[in-house]
Amino acid sequence: MRTITTTDALAEFCTEARAHPYVTVDTEFLRERTYYSKLCLVQLAMPGSDDSNAVLVDPLADGLSLEPLYELFRDTSVVKVFHAARQDLEIFYVDAQVFPEPLFDTQVAAMVCGFGEQVGYETLVRKIAKQSLDKTSRFTDWSRRPLTDAQKTYAIADVTHLRQIYEFLAGKLAQSGRARWVSEELQTLLSPETYIINPEDAWRRVKTRTHSARFLAVVKELAAFRETHAQTRNVPRNRVFKDDALVELASNKPKSYEDLGRSRLLLREARKGDIADGILAAVKRGVDMDPDTMPRPDRSREKLQVNPALADLLRVLLKAKTESAGVAAKLIASAADLDALAAGVRDVPALHGWRSEVFGTDALRLCDGRVALTAKGADVQIIPLD
């Protein structure tokens, strides 16, 4: 199989690919030791039935530029096919602020074609391509050179079988008229906001049991410092300090190196130097924060008056509608969303886009008393009341 190590060779392949209706794409990367993913390999394949139209691109090769690939990504006449594209897209957006358009994600397409939520590539290869994958190279150091034959075989299979999966799913979407559903789901993947992490918002990902404004103010400042430190030095945020240490710091509010030394959970490296100084400064900012600007969690749903009988009916309706449509119920609405609907909340995903077609419209009619549910054999049927 062919490995591309020069910009000219990559440009030649991408020029040829632009003559085809689609190209399949995958990546191999490392992220254990860095904040941003380190791209180690790009796999590409044009339409075909064997490995002859597939290549491995080595982004670690001296002097190789990925710009020809990014030009292919910008060519809207060629569909770029990925499976579970989010992490791949993040790499390309961070590196070049480019998204592959038009995009087709086989995981998303499989979701709306009845294969369930977040179906894995190996499952689709087995069910659609009728092949099995050798996963012995799944956990490997892709930054080491030279790559072994086993690594290359594993990597290339991620784009060669993807061709058959894409063609099958694209045909199913054309038959069912659900291509628009996939397009709606992909909008989040193609939004820069999905990949931009603002340090000021990092505190929202920290799980805490305390909701006092002063405590959350310290959590916010510590999380912002950690995110900024990790981004600027390209190290994992947990290498700065972990969430449990962050919560401990917010509770104890250390004022000195001596206080930091008494922490049970703080890494030794974080008790001195730049990290220690950053922690102490962040704690002080949180303690001194103006009460009017302190963060507060959204607890609006905790006060909802849920109609339990209506919530149960919505669950029955959701199960019936999703079984009929061939999609997983949790893709349409969570248990919390159903409770919110039963309490009168109308700003939930189930009431928008393709989810509304499957469930949301009838859910609103049920909430408004305009339909009833009845059982006929093993089926649940909707009876209009108006």
Kindly tell me if the per-residue pLDDT of 301 is higher than 80: no
Under the banding of pLDDT at 50, 70 and 90, the label for residue 300 is: low
CATH code assigned at 27? 3.30.420.10
Beta strands 379-384 and 371-376 are antiparallel
**272 and 317 in a common domain:** no
pLDDT at 118: 84
**168 and 109 in a common domain:** yes
Point out the domain boundary residue: 245, 271, 293. 293
> Domain range for residue 90?
2-194
Instruction: Please state, rounded to an integer, the average pLDDT across all residues of the chain.
Output: 95
- In 3D space, the residue among 305, 309, 321, 310 whose CA is nearest the CA of residue 360 turns out to be 321
Residues whose CB is less than 8 angstroms from the CB of residue 307 and which lie 6 or more positions away in sequence, other chains included? 342, 343
pLDDT at 379: 87
Convert the pLDDT of each residue in 43-79 to its tens digit.
999 999 999 999 999 999 999 999 999 999 999 999 9
Convert the pLDDT of each residue in 308-360 to its tens digit.
999 999 999 999 999 999 998 888 999 999 999 999 999 999 999 999 999 99
Kindly tell me if the per-residue pLDDT of 193 is higher than 70: yes
pLDDT at 252: 97
**53 and 123 in a common domain:** yes
Q: 1 versus 256: which is more confidently predicted?
A: 256
Cβ atoms of residues 185 and 108 within 8 Å: yes
CATH code assigned at 250? 1.10.150.80
Kindly tell me if the per-residue pLDDT of 6 is higher than 80: yes
Kindly tell me if the per-residue pLDDT of 378 is higher than 90: no
Least confident of 133-142, 184-193, 243-252, 296-305: 296-305
Kindly tell me if the per-residue pLDDT of 203 is higher than 90: yes
Helix, strand, coil tally for the chain in percent (to 5)? 55, 10, 35
pLDDT at 302: 67
Is it true that the peptide bond before 102 is cis, omega within 30 degrees of 0? yes
Convert the pLDDT of each residue in 229-238 to its tens digit.
999 999 999 9
**207 and 122 in a common domain:** no
**27 and 158 in a common domain:** yes
Point out the domain boundary residue: 262, 277, 293. 293
Please state, in angstroms and rounded to a whole number, the distance separating the CA atoms of residues 371 and 382: 6
Please state, in angstroms and rounded to a whole number, the distance separating the CA atoms of residues 208 and 219: 9
pLDDT at 158: 96
Kindly tell me if the per-residue pLDDT of 95 is higher than 80: yes
Please state, in angstroms and rounded to a whole number, the distance separating the CA atoms of residues 383 and 77: 46
**185 and 204 in a common domain:** no
The amino acid sitting at 177 is G
Please state, in angstroms and rounded to a whole number, the distance separating the CA atoms of residues 227 and 237: 6
pLDDT at 277: 98
Beta strands in 120-180 (DSSP E): none
Please state, in angstroms and rounded to a whole number, the distance separating the CA atoms of residues 368 and 193: 36
CATH code assigned at 367? 1.10.150
**What token pair was written down for 64?**
């190789």
Kindly tell me if the per-residue pLDDT of 297 is higher than 80: no
Q: For the chain, what is the domain count?
A: 3
- In 3D space, the residue among 306, 298, 353 whose CA is nearest the CA of residue 315 turns out to be 306
The amino acid sitting at 53 is N
**47 and 188 in a common domain:** yes
- The structure's pTM equals 0.90
Cβ atoms of residues 199 and 231 within 8 Å: yes
Task: Calculate mean pLDDT across residues 271-293.
Answer: 97
pLDDT at 276: 98
- How many CB atoms lie under 10 A from the CB of residue 82? 25
Residues whose CB is less than 8 angstroms from the CB of residue 256 and which lie 6 or more positions away in sequence, other chains included? 280
**259 and 325 in a common domain:** no
Please state, in angstroms and rounded to a whole number, the distance separating the CA atoms of residues 345 and 348: 7
Task: Calculate mean pLDDT across residues 215-242.
Answer: 97
Convert the pLDDT of each residue in 8-51 to its tens digit.
999 999 999 999 999 999 999 999 999 999 999 999 999 999 99
Cβ atoms of residues 164 and 177 within 8 Å: no
